[in-house]
Amino acid sequence: MKEYFTVSQLNEYISGLLENDFTLADCWLKGEVSGCKVYQQSGHMYFNLKDRDAVISSVMFKSRVQKLRFTPQDGAEVLARGTVAVFARQGKYQFYVQEMQLYGMGDLYWQLEQLKEELQAKGYFDREHKKALPPIVRRLGVVSSQDGAALRDILKVLRHRAQNLDIVIAHTAVQGTGAPGEIAAAINRLNQLDDIDVMIVARGGGSFEDLMAFNSEIVVEAVYQSKIPVISGVGHEVDTTLIDFAADIRAATPTQAAQMAVPDNAALLETVLKHRQRLIQIVQRDLLVRAESLDRVMMQRIWQQPESILKNKKNLVDKFTAELQSSINNSYKDKSACLALTMVKLDNLSPLKLMQKGYAIIQKKERILRDIETVQIGDEITINLRQHRLLAKILKKEKFQHGDQI
């Protein structure tokens, strides 16, 4: 039978392809809003984005709709950022919108999208280049503004989770015309230190323009070239910048970046102690079970009176040996009698036995004759008696008439 998909399996497979496509995971679409409707019960907004030749179903969930700075209307030309994914129940793909702007700011967005494509083509966002975070962090670097709330949030989390952690702060501007160069230089300075285990690049939330420093090529390249694993924690959860794609790990907020960077030592110790206690219990229970099993084995008769067990086994062997010998003898007698009977039957069927009664075997050139059709008058034949052989010639052929006897 040929291999096949179920419908659900096919939709799940296609969904996986879309989810693993780097481009479709976060892209911008320019289009005209059509059929826009917000459902009062859920607060989700459903609409189509279309251009002159095509249309795509789109959805924006309540949490995203509430952040819109304008009310979408049919016919409005917009730029929408989101993800392409499969709605498995209906077997169709949709555009899940996370952010939407009126097309009035389109030039800046398209420039950013073009830069994103160029950097992706250079391999700056490739998964193969991503570095794993170390399991143990002794020294951590932070690239951020020393006056920003993001750094305060990061330090608060780090002090709570790992009191003995050594923290190196590389101060930099996080917005403005000079910010991209400062951020890149700070990342490079930390890479010149040999003992930094992991690095956080962070700033708090802000407008699209406020975050542009983290969308610059020089910053993305510095993150890509970093020998130290980089965690990006720029803006709020809904904000996405280009260094998020180049970083080894993207955090939704600076606080989450700090949580990802180091384990909670107190929680880790508690977990270790729980596992230790659990291991002790497992070993003790296993030893108890094995001890009970050993006791039951040692109480068996073979260990208490081994000679009686061997004696019983020897008696069984002797019994089976006698039965086997008797069976062989009986079988031999039966086979001998059967053979003798068979030999008598074969002897009675022997041609020599028949020839003793006066019968003869007639041959023509060593071929036994069974009817007169196989010889002609004048043919020489051989007549074999019990102890003699006669040579004769056919003088006449006759058939027995009804009632004739030999």
How do residues 31-51 score in pLDDT, each as one tens digit?
A: 988 889 999 889 999 999 998
Q: Where are the beta strands (DSSP E) in 62-115?
A: 77-87, 92-102
As a whole number, the mean pLDDT across the chain is 85
* % of the chain beyond a pLDDT of 70: 93
pLDDT tens digits, one per residue of 249-300 = 999 999 999 999 987 766 777 788 889 989 999 998 888 888 888 878 777 7
Q: Are 223 and 243 in contact (CB under 8 A)?
A: yes
Kindly compute the dihedral angle of the four CA atoms of residues 182, 188, 189, 192, in this order, to the nearest 10 degrees.
-170
User: For the chain, how many residues are written?
Assistant: 406
pLDDT tens digits, one per residue of 367-384 = 888 787 888 888 888 888
Is CATH 3.90.1150.10 the right assignment for the domain spanning 127-263? no
Three-class SS state of 32: strand
* % of the chain beyond a pLDDT of 90: 34
pLDDT tens digits, one per residue of 340-350 = 888 878 777 77
Stretch 148-165: mean pLDDT, rounded?
A: 89
Integer angstrom CA distances of residue 378 from 14, 113, 381, 384, 393: 98, 119, 9, 19, 6
Cα–Cα distance between 386 and 5 in angstroms, integer?
86
pLDDT at res. 182: 95
The residues, ordered by sequence, that sit 6+ positions from 13 with a Cβ below 8 Å of its Cβ are: 5
pLDDT at res. 110: 65
Q: Are 161 and 279 in contact (CB under 8 A)?
A: no
Bridge partners, 202 (sequence order): 233
Q: Are 186 and 168 in contact (CB under 8 A)?
A: no
User: In 349-361, which positions are buried (b, 16+ CB within 10 angstroms) versus exposed (e)?
Assistant: eeeeeeeeeeebb
Residue 19: pLDDT over 80? no
pLDDT at res. 105: 53
State the pTM of this model: 0.47
E strand or H helix that includes residue 384: strand 380-384
User: In 5-43, which positions are buried (b, 16+ CB within 10 angstroms) versus exposed (e)?
Assistant: eeeeeebeebeeeeeeeeebeebbbebbbeebeeeeeee
**pLDDT-based confidence at 169, cuts 50/70/90?**
very high
- The matching CATH number, chosen from 3.40.50.620, 2.40.50.140, 3.40.50.2300, 3.30.70.270, for 7-121 is 2.40.50.140
Cα–Cα distance between 261 and 197 in angstroms, integer?
9
Q: Where do the structural domains in the chain lie, given as residue ranges? A: 7-121, 127-263, 303-346, 355-393
The residues, ordered by sequence, that sit 6+ positions from 297 with a Cβ below 8 Å of its Cβ are: 303
pLDDT tens digits, one per residue of 183-242 = 999 999 999 998 999 999 999 888 777 888 999 999 999 999 999 999 999 988 777 899
Q: How many CA atoms lie within 13 A of 131 on its CB side?
A: 19
Widest pairwise Cα distance in the chain: 144
Residue 73: pLDDT over 90? no
Tokens read off for 305: 């009176």
Stretch 56-65: mean pLDDT, rounded?
A: 92
Cα–Cα distance between 265 and 267 in angstroms, integer?
5
Cα–Cα distance between 89 and 346 in angstroms, integer?
85
Q: Work out the angle between the directed axes of helices 179-191 and 217-225 (0-180°, nearest 10).
A: 10
The residues, ordered by sequence, that sit 6+ positions from 290 with a Cβ below 8 Å of its Cβ are: none
Amino acid at 282: I
pLDDT at res. 40: 86
